[in-house]
Each structure stands twice: as structure tokens, then as C-alpha cells.
Amino acid sequence: MPSTTTTTRVPGFYRLTPDERLDIVTKNCNLSEDETKYFSGEYALPMDLADSMIENVIGQIGIPIGVAANFKVNGKDTFIPMATEEPSVVAAASNAAKAAYDLGGFYTSMSGTIMRGQIQVLNVADPFAARAKIFEHKSEILQRCNEKDPTLVSLGGGAIDLEVNIIQTTNSLMLIVHLIVDTKDAMGANAVNTMAESVAPFIETITNGRVVLRIISNLADRRLVRARAVFSAEALGGKEIVENIVNAFEFADFDPYRAATHNKGIMNGITAVVLATGNDTRAVEAGAHAYASISGRYRSLTKWEINNDGNLSGSIELPMAVGIVGGATKTHPVAKASLKIMEINSAEELAGCIAAAGLAQNVAALRALSAEGVQRGHMSLHARNLAVMAGAHRSEIDRIVAQAIEEKDLRYDRILEITKTIQRGD
């Protein structure tokens, strides 16, 4: 049951210790003792579970999970778990979300949960007639597909339609059959690939051709998520910064060199949530970048405008093939607990939160780039890491970092000296 009491506005959240933060999230989101232990690292991923996930397992790599604060998504306060190795990402998302919170937060919608399976048919003598024949057999093809996944059908999903394209390649004409499958709360790769493989011999019989590839398409253009939010101009730093952000967006929208970096920043947020929930990061990334170039030019995944109140109005639209059933989403204990933190009940809700994180991440990057640049934040995190390496105690780190930044000297040997001086009490 979604909790109505969760508040993501926790002043000074970033200043707490990891245990204190986990305690707040545990209480807000009713995590069990076991779930808390998985987050805290007290329970590692069991080796036999790891061994059942991939091959040749020898261990695991720990990636930190942070929770972004200040998110309100479709009227509900939602902590957003983010797994990433990159400093500044979680802080940036939280700061950006704060600038949208009092203006209503994020609103999201989804075009559906429909994926495509592609079946490549070669050596068809009469592809146009074969295309017509496939449509004559549409209901039988769909029925054969759906027999492979009665569970999905019982949940209201399954194969619902067909498309057939004829493509002229350098060497031949190919017939490409698209199975259109509603995968509901599953990401859908297993369901779609099974259907495509099972129906392939029937397609060969109908077309007198030779089927080779049978695989899902990651350009999930019938599974688009959209999110929008208004960010306070005052919180972002004023009118000039807002104008700079809009210009930064236009730069990306018209220049693929910039768009690649701009969209990479968006994916910093998106991939972190996709990973935290055990979903397929590469599928989402492939879909995002393919969709960014769907017009024939590689463009920004977001749009930024100034609204009538002078505030910054942002929106994002991209394919979002994520699920909450199947795969690691249901087997990995941290992925399951991440979904619980977000109080997610459907793939659509999850997609909305992910898109919100991407939008927030983008405005945070554009704000920093339009004002002081990204290095200041990065340098202080870098200095923190160096202070830890130099043996600084938690309570000493802020002083060491402040001094190193004031001196504009972030070399390790200087940070070591500062650390020793502070520890000697000089």
C-alpha cells in the first residue's frame, strides 16, 4: 500500500550518516529488518544467487546506492534509489527536485507497455505477396504466440498485433515481421523472444522464406514515458540562469556533439534508477539513444521552455522498457527493496519515477554548466576522497576540504599535510 505519510523533504539529509539516512528511509517506507540489512551491506548478495544470475561467477562488485530526496511524483513523495559510481549524481538530482517540489513536482504518463519482436525473413521470392499472406494469417500467428505465455495473457497482455515491413538492404529485399506484444509489468524480453522463436517456423511456411533473426527491438517506441515539471527560477539562481539553461538545451538539440553529452547527463539519472531496481540498463540506454535520433538527427531527450511565470518548464520523452516482475527485479534483494522504497505497484509507475530522475538530472547539469561549471562540485568530492585516503576522520573531512579548496590546492600531498596538521591539533 502506498504510504501517504512519506515525505522526501528531509532538510540536511545529505549531512546525515549512511545509517541515519537508512533509518529514515526504513521508517518512511516500512522496510523489513532483512531489507535494511541488504542495503547496509550487512547481508551480501548470496553467492548461490549471484551464481544463478550470470555465468562463471567469482564474486560481486559493490556499487553505492543513494536515495535522491525532494521528489514528488504524480502528487506522491517518493524517495528515488540510485545506484551509481559517479559522484554528484544523487546530490544533483535531489537539488533539482527541490526546485520543483513547491511547484507541484513531477507529472508523468506512459503510452503503453508494448514491445516489438522482430522476425527477419530472407530469400522470399515475392515479398509483397508474402506480406499480404502474413496478414491473412494474423489471428493464427497471434494465437500461436499467446499459447507460449498464458500467464501474460491472463494478466491482460500478450501478442496483440502484427506489422510487416519490407526493407531494401545493400544486397537484398528482406521481410521484417514485427510482433506487437503488450508485456504489462514485465520488461518483456523473455516473453517476446520466446514468441518470436516459436512462431518463426510458421512464418517460414507462410512466406516460403528463411527466418534467421528472432529478437526483441530495444527501440520501444510504443512504450514511451513522459515526465514534466516546473522548476522555480529563483531556486535555480534567477532569470539569466534560466535563459542560459534554455540556450544550453537548444545547443544540444541542434548539435549532436553536445547532445551526446547532454543525454549522457540525463542517463546518469536514468541508468542509476534502472540499475538500483535490477532492470536492464543497456536496453534502456539503447532505446534512449535510438529514440533521440528518430527524427534523423540525434537530439536532446528533454525540452526546456520558460513559462508565463518566468519559471523553467521541462519535459522528457523516451522509451522506457522496465519491469517490476521477472529477472533481477524479483530475485535481487536490493532491487526488490528499491521498488519497495518507491512504493511502486506497476511498471508504468516505475518508468515515471525514472523519467523524473532523468529530467531532474538534466536540469541540474545544465544549471551548473550555465553558472559555476561542474568542476567546483566535482573538486570538493575529489578532495573528500583524498582526505579519506589521507586517513582523515569523518569529523575532520569538512575542515580539510574547505582549507584545500581555499588554497586551490587539491594535490594529495597537500591534503595529507593538512590532515596531519589538523590531527596534531596545530
Q: Per DSSP, what are the bridge partners of residue 304? A: 314
CA distance readout (Å), 32 to 17, 19, 25, 27, 334:
20, 15, 11, 9, 12
Q: How far is the CB of 300 from ligand MEV (least distance, A)?
A: 10
- Among 264, 309, 393, 407, which one carries the catalytic annotation? 264
Catalytic status, residue 138: no
Catalytic residue list contains 393: no
Q: Which is nearer to ligand MEV, 166 or 241 (CB)?
A: 241
The piece of 152-160, 186-194, 264-272, 334-342 that touches ligand MEV (CB under 6 A) is 264-272
**58 burial type by CB count under 10 A (0-12 exposed, 13-18 middle, 19+ buried):** exposed
Rounded Cα distance, 44 and 23, in Å: 19
247 binds ligand MEV (CB under 6 A): no
Does 411 interact with ligand MEV (rule: CB under 6 A)?
A: no
Kindly name the residue from 182, 185, 280, 343 that is annotated as catalytic.
280
Q: Look up residue 284 and give its three cell numbers.
A: 534502456
| Catalytic residue list contains 378 | yes
Q: Which amino acid is at 67?
A: V
Active site includes 264?
yes
CA distance 93 to 356: 9
Question: Please, what is the minimum distance in Å from the beta carbon of residue 254 to ligand MEV?
Answer: 15
Task: Please tell me whether residue 379 binds ligand MEV under the rule CB under 6 A.
Answer: no
Distance in angstroms (rounded) separating the CA atoms of residues 12 and 16:
7
| Binding positions for ligand MEV, 78-97, rule CB under 6 A | 86
* x-or-dash string of contact with ligand MEV, 347-376, rule CB under 6 A: ------------------x---x----x--
Identify the CA nearest to 181 among candidates 238, 142, 155, 215: 142
- 261, 293, 345, 421: residue in contact with ligand MEV (rule CB under 6 A): 261
State the number of binding residues for ligand MEV (CB under 6 A): 9
- Note whether 265 binds ligand MEV by CB under 6 A: yes
Buried b (16+ CB within 10 A) or exposed e, 304-316: beeeeeebbbbbb
Q: Catalytic amino acids?
A: 86, 264, 280, 378
Q: Kindly list the residues in this chain that would bind ligand MEV in the complex (CB under 6 A).
A: 86, 261-262, 264-265, 268, 365, 369, 374
